[in-house]
Chain A
């Protein structure tokens, strides 16, 4: 039996504690409410954004297709060259853009595939971006697939690329791709099929036959998270999957290189790529465009400027070339005066 006085004493103590805790929570809540979301949206790292003192680490949010290059090559090389630490975070370009916009993440640098995810952050987080490289879409394949012989023949050029699209329609063919609503690669693969249908005069409905309908459906059985797609192919559990050329090279995948007219890898063919389109979640229609790699800093981060200027330096660009990217003459889009001087100087400005 519990002593009645003891119980009431405990209750009093509990009430007192709850009152204290309530006050503490109210205090925390008010400080969070007054500063946290709004402040983090407008200035996620004010100390970095508003002063010229470089922080010790460059936090880089980047398109997941850059993962290997950034984590294994560019990041370590940057640390050696600039004596700053590197910390990377991979994700779908559109998703990262949303996370930055909502204040969920506060990187110093953002690298995306295509300029749209960066443009969505203007002018609050940045006012410029630089395109400096392109990649292209390829079809990576499983060397143990029953179609491997044909894939190899197409890759070698002994069989026409046109035949590839017949194979993709075979019943039971295990294709892998990413979600077009979240990931530029998912959209690029669909644009590629649409462009192929035009270029090779494939029967109308070929794309739908391969992908099902609607094209942007996230519930198609061949759609996987980007993190799961290449491992699934490497585990031999797909016949083929979409991939960027750079990924295929870095991960030593077997792949079929596609013609420039359909692979979205040639910046000069932007008008042609724009003929392909897809309507994604929110009834937003997206058009095909070259798969350019763009970089910007977020909130004028000084550490970010160091990383961006390293990437755009001859040493950084060489690393990207070795990683399977085609280099472009770095070109700034947006307000050049808002770009850090070190970035402008790499552009020759």
Chain B
């Protein structure tokens, strides 16, 4: 019986040995996949063509990669060891780093707890009018972060019903750690929800159905089938959301001028003492924010390779 829904991402190769053997998109260029490759003519000619095409593709990729990295290259070429030392050794200079990590961690926890179920429901089409739900998530993504910040003032300011509710808990969503987390959640949530939705969508629902038929309860199906299969995609979605949260600025500067995280620290240092003192904090932001997405990327790629066999 033909599959009713064709799996969309690499995770689904597990149910399709032929796809696994084909090696995905790489198959077309791989001589190992082509019958008679290497035997249809002089061995040197195809190799030369491969070499030229390989050179061109790597060159194009290299140019694009470098263009994307342009700002980072500019950052590295304009930093001096002395400036890094004096900026980072100032009293309290690393407090924003701690604030960024703490608020980023809380933001990720919120996204995992609240965003994951929403993404799963969206992926499974379990919500009425699914396009409306998706459009809602996209709307937040489309709004400029500064505008999100201004709208959050209307939503959670101290004289709004939500703000008064928060005040009743002796908290405030204005210039506090809570405000910082809220701003980061709004800036990063769409990236996580959409990424997680894609990860869940890539799982063949029949695998979950089969597990259920074999007697697994829903929670066990989720734990043993759904999450392991969606794991690499979820990790990537979380990594992207983490990067977004760590660099969040537009909404943050409106609702949480302090406590300073790294982006605000860069901004205020630029204003107070100039570019040379501000740039080292950009390097700190990179060094601190990069390992998690990088680890998620490596783990995700390895997991997918393992499943390909």
Which residues of chain A have a CB within 8 Å of any CB of chain B?
Answer: 1-3, 5-6, 9-10, 12-14, 16-18, 20-21, 24-25, 29, 32-33, 37, 91-92, 94-95, 98-99, 101-104, 144, 174, 179, 181-182, 218-219, 221-225, 227-228, 231-232, 235-237, 281-282
Contact = CB atoms under 8 A, between A and B. Distances in A.
Interface string B115-148: 0000000000000000000000000000000100
Contacts of B276: 102
B253 A228 contact: yes
Contacts of A104: 270, 274-275
A191 B146 CA distance: 30
A17 B58 CA distance: 7
Which of B54, B157, B253 is packed against the most chain A CB atoms within 10 Å? B54
B110 interface: no
Contacts of A21: 62-63, 66
Interface string B76-104: 01100000000000000000000000000
The SS class assigned to the B binding surface is: helix
- Which of A182, A218, A223, A237 has the largest number of chain B CB atoms within 10 A? A237
B149 interface: yes
A42 to B, nearest CB: 15
Contact of A99 (B157, B253, B270): B270
Pairs of residues from A and B, 8 with the lowest C-beta to C-beta distance, nearest first: A237-B157, A95-B271, A102-B275, A13-B55, A1-B32, A13-B54, A3-B31, A98-B274
9 contacts: A98-B270, A98-B271, A98-B272, A99-B275, A104-B274, A174-B159, A181-B268, A219-B259, A227-B254
Given A2-B32, A10-B58, A235 B157 contact: yes
Interface of B: 30-32, 37-38, 47, 50-51, 54-55, 58-59, 62-63, 66, 73-74, 77-78, 146, 149-150, 153-154, 157-160, 163, 172, 174-176, 253-255, 257-259, 268, 270-276
A20 B59 CA distance: 9
A182 B31 contact: no
A33 B76 CA distance: 12
Contacts of A103: 275
Q: Which of B31, B73, B153, B257 has the most CB of A within 10 A?
A: B257
A228 B257 contact: yes
A183 to B, nearest CB: 8
Contact of B150 (A174, A219, A231, A236): A231
A167 to B, nearest CB: 16
B67 to A, nearest CB: 11
A16 B37 CA distance: 26
Nearest to A222: B175
B256 to A, nearest CB: 10
Nearest to A15: B58
Nearest to A101: B274
A222 B158 CA distance: 12
A16 B175 contact: no
B154 to A, nearest CB: 5
A104 B158 CA distance: 37
Contacts of B268: 179, 181-182, 218
Given A13-B54, A17-B62, A94-B271, A237 B32 contact: no
B55 A17 contact: yes
Contacts of B59: 13, 17, 20
A225 B253 contact: yes
Given A6-B50, A221-B175, A223-B175, A182 B157 contact: no
Nearest to A145: B159
B60 to A, nearest CB: 9
Given A9-B47, A221-B175, 19 more contacts: A3-B37, A9-B50, A10-B54, A12-B51, A21-B62, A32-B77, A98-B270, A98-B274, A102-B276, A182-B268, A218-B258, A221-B172, A221-B176, A224-B254, A224-B257, A228-B257, A235-B150, A236-B157, A237-B157
